[in-house]
Amino acid sequence: MDAEFYQTIIPMLLSGIRITFFIAVTGILIGIVIGSLCGYILQTEIKPLKAVAEVYIWIIRATPLMVQALYVYFVIPKWLGVDLPANTVGIIVIALNSGAFMSEIVKGALQSVDPGQKEAAASLGLNGAQILFHVVIPPAFKIAMPGLFNQFIISVKDTALLSVITVNEVTHQAQNYAALSFQTIPTYTVLALFYLVVISVLIVLQKWVEKRFCC
């Protein structure tokens, strides 16, 4: 490996890494909001909202992420008559995708909280919001944690698929470089190592959170 390789690939990968992180973090954070709201709605009896959430989750779960990316990048801007930058589309797709899967995790976690605890809280005169935030969410959070971290990991890796809509995230950058330089072995090895390290950090974080909050 010569110096020129490093001088070219390192800045390319670094800029790719920045975009990967930006899209993954922003997308997942929005996904958490979507997932929490939809997950909550799914276990209530508010029929119209529930129907909307169910259709959304169905569409996302029944189509591949790559198709979702292509659709939001090429089709939806045509309908709306606006141009959406690739990175914005990337965030939207990761958010919608992770949100749908997190909805199911959140729903399951909320439903698994012993109804007796809700009744006990109600019998003490607490209102709905107090019961939700002080009695239901803490144990539900504990139950949801492993599933949510799994989804974070999947979503970080899913950002690689956004290369199809020209998002210059790290995989796309690596592909570009490999195509120009024919240095496929070192390039893709560095790329794989990058994901290994990032996901390992997430796994360590998960272990820490589980230890810290889950007795």
Partner 1 sequence: MINICHMKKNFGELEVLRDINVHIHPGEVVCIIGPSGSGKSTFLRCINQLEKPSGGEILYKGENILDKSYDIRKFREEVGMVFQRFNLFPLLTVRENVCLAPVLTGHKSKAEAVTIAEELLKKVGLSEKADVYPATLSGGQQQRVAIARALAMEPQALLFDEPTSALDPELVGDVLEVMKELAKEGMTMVVVTHEMSFAHEVADRVIFMADGYIVESGTPDQVLEHPGEERTRTFLARFLTTDKTEKYAGLAR
Contact between 7 and partner 1 per CB under 8 A: no
Of residues 142 and 157, the one with the C-beta less far from partner 1:
142
**Least distance in Å: CB of 108 to partner 1?**
18
Integer angstrom CA distances of residue 31 from 18, 24, 39, 45, 55: 19, 10, 11, 23, 16
Among 33, 52, 124, 203, indicate the residue that binds partner 1 (CB under 8 A).
124
Q: How far apart are CA 215 and CA 198, in angstroms?
A: 26
- Residue 198: which residues within 8 A CB-CB, separation 6 or more? 156
**Least distance in Å: CB of 211 to partner 1?**
15
Crossing angle between the packed helical segments 184-213 and 137-158, to the nearest 10 degrees: 180
What would the x/- binding string for partner 1 be over residues 142 to 181, using CB under 8 A? x---------------------------------------
Contact between 28 and partner 1 per CB under 8 A: no
Give residue 197's identity as a one-letter amino acid code. Answer: V
Stretch that binds partner 1, among 34-42, 132-140, 183-191, 195-203 (CB under 8 A): 132-140
Catalogue the E-assigned strands of 129-212: none
Contact between 117 and partner 1 per CB under 8 A: yes
Structure tokens at 174: 């690596």
Among 134, 166, 179, 203, indicate the residue that binds partner 1 (CB under 8 A).
134
Residues 97 to 116 in contact with partner 1, rule: CB under 8 A:
114, 116
Residue numbers of the site for partner 1 (CB under 8 A)? 114, 116-117, 119-127, 130, 134-135, 138-139, 142, 215
